[in-house]
Amino acid sequence: MASMKFTYRSGQRPLDGYTLKRGVGQGAFGEVYFAVSDGGKEVALKLLRGHTDAELRGVSHCLNLKHPHLVHLYDLRTDARGEQWVIMEYVFGESLAGVVNKHPTGLPKEVVREWFAALARGVGYLHNQGVVHRDLKPANIFIEHGHLKIGDYGLSRRISGSEGGDLSRGVGTPHYMAPEIKNGNYTCSIDVYACGIILYEMLTGVRPFNGETPLEVLMKHYIDPPDLTKLSPAYRAVLGKALEKDPAKRYATVGELAKAVDEMFGARRDAPAVVPPLPPGLTPTLPRAPAPATLADVPASAALPVAIPVGVPVKPAAPPGPIPVAVRDRLTELAGAVALTPLITAACTAPWAVFQSSVQWSLLARLFLLATVLAWAVVLIGRLPKRKEGNPWGRRAIQFTVGACVGALAFWLDGWALPTGTTHASTRDLVLFTNHRVSEGTLSTGMRYLFYFGLAVGACRWWRVTDPKRRERVRFLPLFAAAFWGAVFLFLWPSESAPLMLGVSVMVIASVAAQAASPWAGAPAKWRA
């Protein structure tokens, strides 16, 4: 993403009524931006490039289509320069390609079952509207909170027989292109074939046909049979029929394929539907109607949350929804965040040295070290297992402990050390187990450090600051919150030892560093033109 050069920058308004926030993707057919309307609606704006006529025709076919498993197209607009823009739904999530890449041996069977059923419903709805997608692939399928949505269907066409011309040839991605596309055939069969490829990839983690060049991959689609030995015997018959070279030998519709997949996973048509308990805090969105016997019997227009498998008893231990990230990936992300944090805190501390020449270097060093340690701690506790949002006191207790440790470090940096003798001893001194004495004033200063940072850190909701799915990488509201709580507890600050603003500055700089360094998946490169 860093190397991409977009036509427009953040804050510009090339289309009346919308402000661009950032570019999120580029391709042969245009650029995609994350934008916000004047009314506050978050959308994706696609600036059309290249074969504009082909895309405009596809968008016109799909502009009024509405389905829970399709990315919604809202409008088609022309700006003052005569350029065409597509206004569409912005999906906060990850592409299916990204999920598959993290699971090289295939996804869990229950997840494949849920997501493929949703994919079939979305594709079946397009076919019922007389539209063929033409470019089904994991990179064009997105997962938002466990819910699957199909994107990039603006390049689709009306279902038709053989057509000539350049526009009908070579459209799509070679790894997912049915053999009959070479003749310009755009019928449901090419989407059925692509769904078979996607199912194979979800089950095994690899594609059935690969090669050094796109032409080599296409030739394998035309000639070579798929390698089904990577699949369990129960799955081979279904995948073999879905990937037949002759479209007449494939499943006639995506609904037939979905029904076969449902039976492949062991569903019985006479089995009652069993819906597992919803996770705490998740509100069911199913209509109040009897559940269908199998997933394949669900109408194409029905809205079914992907996270709720229907039609087969599900073991309570099987967690619905997104798959957890691999431990290795989490450690890599954490190591990168730890390495980046000191650079950000240094950048935030540097202006003090430039514009406030009277500030002592020792004070700046204390500010840098305390902010870095606090930001490290925030990043680390942000990777702890998720807890219930309705009961955050466990998190706050951990944060209070972390803050108290930062306060102990601040106390030590203030120059405190254990006394080496008993001179000027007082009966009010605290006698440690080492027989060292701590004076009443020293103890008071230390406790004020501990409680100041403990309470200020414990009051902030740091788990939202480091949430990988936050909408923006760095937000101003957490900075204000850190400054607010830092100011609220200033009555505890030992002002005789350090300036009042040192504590507040540590809180704010740590909030900036924790947000900027924490992993962020709010705007992945998931849109392709």
| pLDDT value at residue 158 | 61
Please tell me the pTM assigned to this model. Answer: 0.52
Could you give the residue numbers annotated as active site?
135
Find the mean pLDDT for residues 262-274.
60
How does pLDDT run across 293-304, given as a tens digit for each residue?
444 444 444 444
- Please give the residue that has the higher pLDDT: either 273 or 437: 437
57-71, 164-178, 229-243, 389-403: segment of lowest average pLDDT: 164-178
With bands split at pLDDT 50, 70 and 90, how would you rate the model's confidence at 272?
Answer: very low
Query: How far is Cα 503 from Cα 409, in angstroms, rounded to an integer?
Result: 13
- pLDDT of res. 171: 54
The Cα-based distances of 16 to 9, 70, 78, 80 in angstroms read 15, 26, 9, 9
Say yes or no to pLDDT of 360 above 50.
Answer: yes
Q: What is the pLDDT of residues 109-159, one digit of tens each?
A: 999 999 999 999 999 999 998 888 888 999 989 999 889 999 887 656 665
Q: Is pLDDT of 479 > 80?
A: yes
Q: What is the pLDDT of residue 2?
A: 44
Name the burial class of residue 111, with classes exposed (0-12), middle (13-18) and buried (19+) by CB atoms within 10 angstroms of its CB. Answer: buried
Q: How far apart are CA 167 and CA 184, in angstroms?
A: 9
The tens digit of pLDDT for each residue in 483-524 reads 899 899 988 888 777 777 788 889 999 889 888 888 776 544
Q: Kindly list the structural domains of the chain, giving each domain's residue range(s) and its CATH number in brackets, ordered by start.
A: 18-89 (3.30.200.20), 94-276+291-297 (1.10.510.10), 327-517 (no CATH)
State the average pLDDT for the chain. Answer: 77
Band of residue 320 on the pLDDT scale cut at 50, 70, 90: very low
Mean pLDDT score, 367-389: 78
Residue 433, pLDDT > 90, answer no
**Phi, then psi, of 131 in degrees rounded to 5:** -120, 135
Note the pLDDT tens digit of each residue in 74-118. 998 999 998 889 999 999 888 999 999 999 999 999 999 999 999
Q: Does residue 274 surpass a pLDDT of 70? A: no
From residue 266, alpha-carbon distances to 229, 236, 294, 348, 355 in Å are 20, 14, 11, 58, 70
What are the pLDDT digits (tens) for 184-211? 667 899 999 999 999 999 999 999 998 8
